[in-house]
Structure 1
Amino acid sequence: MGKEIWRKRLVYLRDQWCAYPAPEALPRTRIFWIVTGLITLAVICFSAFYILYMGGRHVAFQTNAEDFGIMDQSIWNTAHGNLLHDTICNIINDTNCASPDGYVRFAIHFEPILFPISLFYYIWSDPRILFVIQTIIVALGAYPAYWLARLRLRNEWLAGAFALLYLIYPAQLQATTSDFHAVTLTASLLLFMLYFMYTRQTLWLFVFALLAMACKEDIPLVVLTFGLWSVIFQRRWKSGLALALLGLVWFVVATKVIMPHFSPTGQPLLISRYGGNAGGGSLVKDVLLHPVSFLRTYVFEYHHLAYIHAVLAPAGYIPRPHGGGIFYLPMLAPWVLVMAVPSLAINLLSSNPQQYSGLFHYNAEVVPIIIFSTIEALVVVRWLARHALAALAVRGVALARTSSDIGRFLPRVLTWVLVVGVIFSALRSDYYFHGQLPFSIGFQWPQTTPHMDLARHFMDMIPDDASVSAQTKLVPHLSHRTSIYMFPYAADPKYLNGRPADRLAEYVLLDVTGDVYPYFEAQQYTSEVKTVLASGNYGILAAQDGYMLLKRGLPAPRILPSSGNSQPSDPTSLLFDLPASFCSNIYVSPQEVMNSLQVDFKQPGGGHMDLAGFEVGASSPFSRTNGYGSLTTYWRVEQPSKQPLQVVTLLKGSNGQEYIASMDMPELAWCPTQSWKAGSIVRLATRTFNLQKSGIPNGLAQMSIALLPQAQTSSTIMDVQARLPLQVLHAPRTVTANQGTHTLQLMPITIVD
């Protein structure tokens, strides 16, 4: 008798706490169809908005060679009979450049889902079709989120809130708006898996398992954990073990057989992110021999903890008092959250900081598990509330009389409060942390400019079958060809591993005012471009408005005598005889000048030009951690300067010290001040800058500029005596000159974290 009682108690605990028997079906009432209709409307709005947004970003040259150009070229080549062939890689700071002849995509990632996707190119052979596919599939994940929450919480309106949570979850939006990646599709596919696993629909479970695993080589590890979870918590031995075995076999075959087979090195090309060619053996050794040091390095280190917070915080969190850490709502269901361990580990252990930044597409497969664990956390809260009330009821007759009403009412209110809190937490994260919702800080609808429209003119000059090395933002518009490279690959002979110069790209297309990736400093990029020009391998076919189209075999541009030695140690000092139209982008009409003023800078050796206006592209308050800014200045040229000058953007902090915000005005590297036309107005714009490494304290700061002879070191720039004296002749009251530091203070900005 005693054994029978204990068996019943264990069965009760299993059913009530952390085990999942077959769910009891719910009738499809009118409320169900109303909520389903609202979710369908949300899915349609989500899809329409982000398809248009991402399509607009592509047209506005806001997509990248890595990874949109890579994905588009691989899929386009597949549709044209060249199996996932790719030539785009990062020669500067990555390991995916194996050969100028290119490689098969499987050498980097195993994504067979790209085969059926390539069929859509027969319908519309345009890179934007990838955004349509990705956005619609991701949006459909709202339905399994709703169905799963409905069965667990037994309430349609609460369940509908989780469909909304999925659609606005920051990690999902980051993935959806980070170009196109096959793994982003798993945000939806894995949610379908969880739903079919919970409802014990085995056939559909395996269908979506196959689709999810086809998106990336590490997803089988997630499927493996799903299978083990089903064995432990659902007692589904056959299907659970079959799922786990399928995931294990797929992972081993993909990473140990298929990817090495297609890799020119015999190893997956990105294996160095996890301990080099040893296949991550050094990480395993660290775990076994130095576990405490391992945890400090890969989990408790500041940036890794910030990554965990960025991923989990939108689902709700409570900071512990006195700096004792943070408790995240999904942690109330650790038996569910544990399924995210493989994906989190892959990101935390990587040497690529982007993977643990909380941005981009690296967390798409984590989102479904966070949604499920948050649902279960509410189930746990409601269960605890009911049992706590029941325990209190036995302590008094008065409470016992009302415990029935309280027992029904209080858990529901508590659940709704938590759901509202979670939605608010997700929206708050979207607002502050690189959000991709229309109201988020820094969100802008992509806009085209005449400068962007001009790019098409240069692209039309390149034959469809020609090989091209182009800037990162230009590559996705040229990737429908067999050989397309990201500059400087295939443009500079030193990156050809000793191969002859005739293996260089036939054309090089650059925008010297554009994105400098894969370089992180504009000076490095400028040096490389000028090195290519000085090499003699290319001549200028066309140049205008900052664009430069080079063709192999044409006469190289002449190096101007003012450059000094024709072979200097620093190529950035070289000046070339470029077409006059190349610098046409710097000249504007008087009507285009913003915030008109007149500030005279005294120039050595003659020359006369005034600051005629400015425009600050930064909000106040300005975040030190994730804020971005820019500064545009307008100069009225009476007489060009006799020597090249440099404009420096400074911030004078609340502590009275000066901090460099930006020294990067790309036009000055190609159109120096001594070449400006007399009687013209010149517009100079900084590249977008941030203050993450500036060290400036919080508080009120003054954005200023200084003008000085062109210098290469920050120590010279911070030398007040090197700066040109200035005099304000006419300016708004907020603009003042600091004669002590020879700076012009433009506007105050409040600096915050």
Structure 2
Amino acid sequence: MNSIRNFYAAVKQVPEKYLIVLIFAIIYILISWVNHYLFRTYALDLGLYSNALYDYSHFQWNDSTTFKANPENLMGDHFDFYLMLYSPFVWIFGSYTLLVVQVTALLFGGLGVYRYFRTNRFLAASAMIFFYSFFGVFSALSYDFHDSVVVASLVPWLFVFTKERKLKSCILMIVILWMGKENSPLWIAFICFGLSLQLWKESNWRNFYLLAGFCSMVYFLIVLKLIMPNLAGDGVYPHFDYSILGGSMAGAVKHLILHPIDSFQLMISNFNGDPMADNTKTVLFRYLFYSGIILLLFRPSYLVMLIPVFFQKLFHDSPVIWGVGFHYCIEFTPILAIGVFEVVDKLKKNSFKRIGASMVLVSAMVITHKRMVEPYFYTPETTINFLAKVHYQKEYNVKPVYEAFKLIPDNAVVSSQSNLLPHLANRNYCYMYPTVKNAEYIILAKKDTPYPLNDSIFQVEIKKYQDSPEWIKLVDREEVLLLKKR
């Protein structure tokens, strides 16, 4: 009994922010790392980026051959400097490196939210938990790794340094944020414009953020119009997927300016025509409403910061990006965590602040739980609901697959199923099956998802390789097939 009392007393001495960090670190690991162990991470994008870590750690460019037929600098697909910074850690954490980075970044972002509101401990803790438990965070963790999560996790610190009026730290943070994906500078430009509105009466800070926003826009255009096309194999930026607005960025901007009513209708409608997407945008708006976005009407500068986020999501060709799944809502996280609770902080009485913060937090957590238990497009409950038993189960025994991994030399060229490739990407060459090329080994999990093939073709492919005289069967079990080139 005394040991329990002593433990409880020790826990009470720990600042609440670190207890919150510990709780959510465990939750994040249970979502992200369990998915990886049970082969619910994929060649696109964790396998691809893990292979880039290997290349960068050996001081060489990544050629994208993991998923592309012809070699092409990965920076031509996504202009991302962060991967280079993480690359040394691949020697420590192996295939889990980027998942470790992602969880660490999110925890660091929550600490930034706490520090922003630190003069009111209850409000600070509530905003921190809101950040950690936001549905966009859980959705992102349930599907691989993406540097947009890291960028969103760093944004709260820009608000912190602004509030503390640390100019040099603000400049450094803006530059660091630029180094994320190529679309990050566009978002950062609008964050800067929003901050300039908040600081309009302070001419020095207002002018600084107007200039920072303009520089962000210029950098964004240079990367998209000059640098990336020169790195891409076909000389074209590969991710302008907004055909409903026109065939180019300039055409899209022109359409938005000349046809505002039509653009608004497109933004809220299912212009794709896919019946599966009929309610996708409605669900997004409902989730954001229950997460408190309506309160930003009292602080419209934060809505300015979300303009490119809404545009990039709701005008995209793919309905998958419109909704609440994957990593496509992560940018809402820091803006709502800071903006919504700043509105609450404006309430006069401390009791009102506590009630308001509690109501927002409970509402947001309820909608996150709803996201956890409702399947979304291609992501079933098993990938996100860490409270469900099925999250920790696999349709087959994974141990034979891990045993087969041990038979593949570290320097061998491998072709593997998409969801096995992240575990094998720490090498010079690896391909997402059915690409084989010069592979020395092929490994397939017979009962797992056959993407990009359908199941019937996948089973035919397995039989073909089992009978092929060109390949030696090292392992041929119920769960896994491992072949070596003769």
TM > 0.5 between the two? yes
For 1:365, the equivalent position in structure 2 comes to: 331
For 1:73, the equivalent position in structure 2 comes to: 51
What's the CA shift for 1:466? Answer: 3.0
Is residue 86 of structure 1 aligned with residue 51 of structure 2?
Answer: no
Q: Deviations over 1:403-455 (max 9, x none)?
A: xxxxx6xx544433322221111221122112699976747553578731111
What's the CA shift for 1:268? Answer: 2.5
1:454 to 361, 376, 400: 400
Alpha-carbon contact 1:469-1:509 (below 8 Å) kept: yes
2:424 to 469, 475, 478: 478
For 1:343, the equivalent position in structure 2 comes to: 309
For 1:217, the equivalent position in structure 2 comes to: 182
What secondary structure, in the 3-state scheme, does the structure 1 residue paired with 2:327 have?
coil
Alpha-carbon contact 1:508-1:550 (below 8 Å) kept: yes
What secondary structure, in the 3-state scheme, does the structure 2 residue paired with 1:378 have?
helix
Q: Which structure 2 residues correspond to residues 175-254 of structure 1 after superposition, within 5 A?
A: 175-235=140-200, 236-254=205-223
2:233 to 251, 264, 275: 264
Which amino acid counterpart does residue 328 of structure 2 have in structure 1?
A: Y
Which amino acid counterpart does residue 471 of structure 1 have in structure 2?
A: Q
What secondary structure, in the 3-state scheme, does the structure 2 residue paired with 1:103 have?
coil
What's the CA shift for 1:331? Answer: 3.5
Q: Which has the higher strand share?
A: 1
What's the CA shift for 1:248? Answer: 1.6
Q: Distance in 2 between matches of 1:469 and 1:334?
A: 50
Q: Distance in 2 between matches of 1:51 and 1:434?
A: 15
Q: Deviations over 1:446-483 (max 9, x none)?
A: 35787311112333333333322211111111111222
Which amino acid counterpart does residue 242 of structure 1 have in structure 2?
A: L
For 2:274, the equivalent position in structure 1 comes to: none
Tell me: higher relative CO, structure 1 or 2? Use CA pairs within 8 A at least 6 residues apart. 2
- Closer/same/farther in 2, CA of residues 150 and 347 from structure 1, 3 Å limit: same
Q: Distance in 1 between matches of 2:62 and 2:238?
A: 15
For 1:165, the equivalent position in structure 2 comes to: 130
- Closer/same/farther in 2, CA of residues 303 and 455 from structure 1, 3 Å limit: same
Which amino acid counterpart does residue 84 of structure 1 have in structure 2?
A: N
Q: Distance in 2 between matches of 1:439 and 1:71?
A: 25
Is residue 512 of structure 1 aligned with residue 450 of structure 2?
Answer: no
Alpha-carbon contact 1:542-1:548 (below 8 Å) kept: yes
Q: Distance in 2 between matches of 1:440 and 1:431?
A: 10
What's the CA shift for 1:529? Answer: 5.1
- Closer/same/farther in 2, CA of residues 546 and 158 from structure 1, 3 Å limit: closer
What secondary structure, in the 3-state scheme, does the structure 2 residue paired with 1:548 have?
strand
Which amino acid counterpart does residue 175 of structure 2 have in structure 1?
A: L
For 1:38, the equivalent position in structure 2 comes to: 16
Unmatched tracts of structure 2, length 5 or more: 1-11, 271-277, 374-380
For 2:292, the equivalent position in structure 1 comes to: 316
Q: Which has the higher helix share?
A: 2
- Closer/same/farther in 2, CA of residues 238 and 125 from structure 1, 3 Å limit: same
TM-score, length of structure 2 as denominator length: 0.83
Aligned pairs, number: 456
Q: Distance in 2 between matches of 1:299 and 1:345?
A: 11
- Closer/same/farther in 2, CA of residues 477 and 147 from structure 1, 3 Å limit: closer
For 2:112, the equivalent position in structure 1 comes to: 144
- Closer/same/farther in 2, CA of residues 231 and 276 from structure 1, 3 Å limit: closer
What secondary structure, in the 3-state scheme, does the structure 2 residue paired with 1:433 have?
helix
Is residue 283 of structure 1 aligned with residue 271 of structure 2?
Answer: no
Unmatched tracts of structure 1, length 5 or more: 1-33, 90-96, 318-327, 383-407, 492-502, 555-753
For 1:118, the equivalent position in structure 2 comes to: 87
Q: Deviations over 1:194-219 (max 9, x none)?
A: 12223321111122212222121111
Alpha-carbon contact 1:286-1:294 (below 8 Å) kept: yes
Alpha-carbon contact 1:331-1:373 (below 8 Å) kept: no
1:426 to 364, 383, 386: 364
What secondary structure, in the 3-state scheme, does the structure 1 residue paired with 2:261 have?
helix
For 1:545, the equivalent position in structure 2 comes to: 478
What secondary structure, in the 3-state scheme, does the structure 2 residue paired with 1:127 have?
helix
- Closer/same/farther in 2, CA of residues 275 and 113 from structure 1, 3 Å limit: farther
- Closer/same/farther in 2, CA of residues 204 and 460 from structure 1, 3 Å limit: same
For 2:296, the equivalent position in structure 1 comes to: 330
Alpha-carbon contact 1:316-1:421 (below 8 Å) kept: no
Alpha-carbon contact 1:197-1:205 (below 8 Å) kept: yes
Alpha-carbon contact 2:314-2:321 (below 8 Å) kept: yes
Question: Aligned-residue CA RMSD in angstroms?
Answer: 3.2
Q: Deviations over 1:88-147 (max 9, x none)?
A: 22xxxxxxx3x34x332211111111111112234x151213222221221122222123
- Closer/same/farther in 2, CA of residues 71 and 461 from structure 1, 3 Å limit: same
Alpha-carbon contact 2:287-2:367 (below 8 Å) kept: no
Q: Distance in 2 between matches of 1:333 and 1:464?
A: 54
Which amino acid counterpart does residue 433 of structure 1 have in structure 2?
A: R
- Closer/same/farther in 2, CA of residues 465 and 276 from structure 1, 3 Å limit: farther
What secondary structure, in the 3-state scheme, does the structure 2 residue paired with 1:128 have?
helix
What secondary structure, in the 3-state scheme, does the structure 2 residue paired with 1:61 have?
coil
Alpha-carbon contact 2:112-2:156 (below 8 Å) kept: yes
Q: Distance in 2 between matches of 1:297 and 1:448?
A: 41
What's the CA shift for 1:45? Answer: 2.8
Alpha-carbon contact 1:542-1:550 (below 8 Å) kept: yes
Q: Which structure 2 residues correspond to residues 569-608 of structure 1 after superposition, within 5 A?
A: none
Q: Distance in 1 between matches of 2:286 and 2:175?
A: 29
Q: Deviations over 1:288-317 (max 9, x none)?
A: 554433322332444453353265134237
TM-score, length of structure 1 as denominator length: 0.55
Q: Distance in 2 between matches of 1:276 and 1:77?
A: 37
Alpha-carbon contact 1:171-1:358 (below 8 Å) kept: yes
Alpha-carbon contact 1:170-1:314 (below 8 Å) kept: no
For 2:98, the equivalent position in structure 1 comes to: 130
Alpha-carbon contact 1:540-1:548 (below 8 Å) kept: yes
Q: Distance in 2 between matches of 1:277 and 1:551?
A: 48
What secondary structure, in the 3-state scheme, does the structure 1 residue paired with 2:398 have?
helix
What secondary structure, in the 3-state scheme, does the structure 2 residue paired with 1:508 have?
strand
Q: Distance in 2 between matches of 1:243 and 1:445?
A: 44
For 1:734, the equivalent position in structure 2 comes to: none
Is residue 376 of structure 1 aligned with residue 342 of structure 2?
Answer: yes
For 2:9, the equivalent position in structure 1 comes to: none
What secondary structure, in the 3-state scheme, does the structure 2 residue paired with 1:271 have?
coil
Q: Distance in 2 between matches of 1:35 and 1:261?
A: 56
